[in-house]
Amino acid sequence: MEAFNDHIGSFYEALAEDKLDQLADALLSLRDAAATLPMEDPATVVLQEMLNDCENKASAKGQLALSKLHALVSTLNASLGRKSNDDTVLQYERLDSQLRTVINTFYTSYALSPSPANASSLAVLVEYVDAEFKQRASLRVDSLGKLKAAAPVNGHGYIDRSVHLEALNGLVHDVSFVVSLVEEANVSDLAIVFAPIHAAFVRGVLDILALYAADARLAAWEKKVSLRSTSPSNDLDDVEADESLQMVDLLLEELACILQLCLHYSAYAASFLVDQRGGSGDGGLSQKVHELNGVYLLLERFYIFQTMHKAVMIAEPQQIEPNVYAISTVEDASFVLDKAFTRATQSKNYHTVLSVVIAIVESLERTYMPSILDLPRRSFDMPLPVTSPTHHANDSSAELSTDDLSFSDALLQAVDADLTHQLQVDAKMMMAVVSAYMSWEYVGKIHVRITETQASHFAALPSLLECLPKPLSELQLEFHQVFTSGLHALYARDLQPKMDMRFHQSVLQWQYELSLQAYDYLEVHGSPLVALVQSMLKDKTLRRFRRGLSPPTFELMWRQVVRDMCDWIERGVTQKTFNDVGAMQLEKEVRHLSVLCGHFPAASDVSLRAEFTRLDQIVLLVNLAKASDVLEYDSIRDHMPRNEIEARLALRFRSDSIQRVMHQLKLT
């Protein structure tokens, strides 16, 4: 109530001095204060009558305020139509100042006028804002023309088209600035004021886009790409020129920014305008955006397929870690596809993103995947630590002619060439494995990005992943099969046969019916089993695989090696008989081998608990104090069939005690 009285004083003071701006401020403050008065208070009725009296006195000044607004707008409209040679920045500052003056005058007239009259004030404001924003849009287009004329032309006949994007950004900023000032005037219906702003904005945007299309030669590029995409030569080994792809990439970046601006503006305008159905309803903006989006998608698909094709054709081994190689296509393709996906998601348009994602999946399936499968057959030479197994820097025999070679030297050279060829084959296979693994990881990342994009922007729309011509999970599975089958081929051809043979030869030396003296001897000199595994870890082929495969891929191979090794050990020990000392020896050996194998991969220690599970179970069974103790181990009974438990217990215990235990197991 005290605030109401203060505003009453301010109102009558402004009324006495005929200060219309202060009078409007005081009247609006009175209205706000009256809205908070308690209705049950008798004094509120008196204060409400005082407010009504102030409203009547203010209405008497409304016509004067409206006349001032009319006069101001008439004067400024006349100045808007005149050409000016002033600097563009100065012209914008003048427009900003004049707009603020008009808004303030409108604010006063709108507040003091009764309901029919304030509609007149609003009409005057709309008239000025219409003319004012047309002037702003015209300034943007004229300024762009001047910048174009002064812009240098590059060697291909193009100018720097960032000026077009700056002009579009400037127009969007102008809309935001003008609307924010109008909002400060507490206009009840912003749509009436926004409509002429929007119309002038659309005309300005269309003018700028027409200039951009001409300067970028967009129609020519669209025609060229359309012909190139449908040409039969597209399937041959020809590669698009770097300059052409770079130009398409630049066009795509520009189009993505333009579309992002236009789409974001359309969403902003939709909050003010009712008719946003396109066509004449928005002045043709949505139609133009649709046209540009079509050009963007055409160029983007072309760019994806051509850059992928180029990456395959110019592929070469690329060192990603010391002695670890992947084909350069992996990095090139991921860079291109990430860029295309990022551009598409900037628009936040469902159909645009879906079209680009489909192109990405198709390029991976049609071009990228076959190139990975073909890597072992490619003709390039892999970098090897030693070019030839018998290479020596100062080998004087290299200077001998072919005629001077002895039979032994010629035979040595033939063997040398054969070994070098095999090293090349293995190196290409390892590169293919590493490349397929990296591709598998990359497809997984694409899957995650698509899922995140769906959740962020298109949660209510059909799943992007379900709309693809080929599920990403299938593509990822194919890459997984490529590197797992490649690892299996390397292992089965170069490692598994000789390791199997060495284990079978070594089994004859294993003894587990030991005396304490024999146990102490093995403690000092080492057991045949541990010595065998230690020698296998020094195998040149195995170490070459560890050096040439990436840590994740070698770990997969190493787990297969360890699984086979544990299987060979299991088959070997089941041919032996044990006493208590021999059981302790086996436990020590298995524990030693578990640590030894876990440390072998170069990157870090690997947990091999799953691979050693069955050996650990055998160790536990043969180290029981008596056969019946197995009844206390639920984990063994749950994971090992009864016939296997019986067979493992038979390695150490008498058959009668085992039979009693097995009978009890049947009862449990």
DSSP codes, 178-198: HHHHHHHTT-S-HHHHHHHHH
Mean pLDDT computed over every residue of the chain: 84
618 three-class SS? helix
Domains with residue ranges and CATH for the chain:
1-216 (no CATH), 219-387+428-486 (no CATH), 487-667 (1.20.58.1970)
Please indicate whether residue 59 or residue 222 has the higher confidence score (pLDDT).
Answer: 222
Q: Name, in order, each residue with C-beta under 8 angstroms of 186's C-beta and a sequence gap of 6 or more.
A: 28, 107, 110
Give the residue from 142, 206, 131, 137 showing the smallest Cα distance to 172. 137
Give the residue from 33, 5, 8 showing the smallest Cα distance to 23. 8
What's the CA gap between 286 and 277, in Å, rounded?
Answer: 8
Instruction: For residues 170-187, give the mean pLDDT.
Output: 88
pLDDT at residue 403 is higher than 60: no
327 three-class SS? strand
Q: Name, in order, each residue with C-beta under 8 angstroms of 648's C-beta and a sequence gap of 6 or more.
A: 574, 617, 618, 621, 622, 640
**What is the percent of the chain with per-residue pLDDT over 70, rounded to a whole number?**
80
**Contact between residue 450 and residue 357 where contact means Cβ atoms under 8 Å apart:** yes
Please indicate whether residue 220 or residue 111 has the higher confidence score (pLDDT).
Answer: 220
User: What pTM was estimated for this model as a whole?
Assistant: 0.80
Q: Of the given ranges (111-120, 255-264, 328-337), which has the lowest mean pLDDT?
A: 111-120
159 three-class SS? strand
What's the CA gap between 208 and 146, in Å, rounded?
Answer: 13
Q: Name, in order, each residue with C-beta under 8 angstroms of 660's C-beta and a sequence gap of 6 or more.
A: 627, 628
Confidence of residue 247 (pLDDT cuts 50, 70, 90): very high
pLDDT at residue 154 is higher than 80: no
Q: 537 is written with which tokens?
A: 């870890």
DSSP codes, 416-432: HHHHHHHHHHHHHHHHH
Q: How far is CA 2 from the centre of its chain?
A: 60
pLDDT at residue 33 is higher than 60: yes
pLDDT at residue 519 is higher than 80: yes
Query: According to the model, what pLDDT value does residue 237 have?
Result: 58
Confidence of residue 232 (pLDDT cuts 50, 70, 90): low
Query: According to the model, what pLDDT value does residue 388 have?
Result: 42
Q: 256 is written with which tokens?
A: 């993505």
Length of the chain: 668
What's the CA gap between 68 and 113, in Å, rounded?
Answer: 13
pLDDT at residue 392 is higher than 70: no
pLDDT in tens, 611-660: 999 999 999 999 999 988 888 888 787 788 888 888 999 999 988 888 98
Q: 38 is written with which tokens?
A: 């308690």
Query: According to the model, what pLDDT value does residue 393 have?
Result: 41
Direct distance between the N- and C-terminal alpha carbons of the chain, in angstroms, rounded to an integer: 88
Dmax (CA) of the chain: 128
pLDDT at residue 275 is higher than 60: no
Query: According to the model, what pLDDT value does residue 39 have?
Result: 67
pLDDT at residue 490 is higher than 90: yes
Q: 493 is written with which tokens?
A: 């051809």
What's the CA gap between 668 and 375, in Å, rounded?
Answer: 57
Instruction: For residues 202-212, give the mean pLDDT.
Output: 93
Count CB-CB contacts under 10 A for residue 468: 19
pLDDT in tens, 450-468: 999 999 999 999 999 999 9
Please indicate whether residue 332 or residue 58 has the higher confidence score (pLDDT).
Answer: 332
Q: Residue 153 has what DSSP assignment? A: B
Q: Of the given ranges (3-17, 257-271, 386-400, 446-460), which has the lowest mean pLDDT?
A: 386-400
Instruction: For residues 9-34, give the mean pLDDT.
Output: 66
Confidence of residue 278 (pLDDT cuts 50, 70, 90): very low
Q: Name, in order, each residue with C-beta under 8 angstroms of 642's C-beta and a sequence gap of 6 or more.
A: 662, 665, 666
Confidence of residue 366 (pLDDT cuts 50, 70, 90): very high
Query: According to the model, what pLDDT value does residue 378 have?
Result: 84
Give the residue from 425, 429, 432 showing the smallest Cα distance to 327. 432
Q: 381 is written with which tokens?
A: 């030479």
**Contact between residue 667 and residue 631 where contact means Cβ atoms under 8 Å apart:** no
Q: Name, in order, each residue with C-beta under 8 angstroms of 363's C-beta and a sequence gap of 6 or more.
A: 304, 305, 308, 333, 337
Q: Of the given ranges (33-47, 141-155, 448-462), which has the lowest mean pLDDT?
A: 33-47
Count CB-CB contacts under 10 A for residue 189: 10
Query: According to the model, what pLDDT value does residue 59 have?
Result: 67
User: Which residues share a beta bridge with 318?
Assistant: 326
635 three-class SS? helix
Instruction: For residues 92-116, give the mean pLDDT.
Output: 79
Please indicate whether residue 408 or residue 178 has the higher confidence score (pLDDT).
Answer: 178
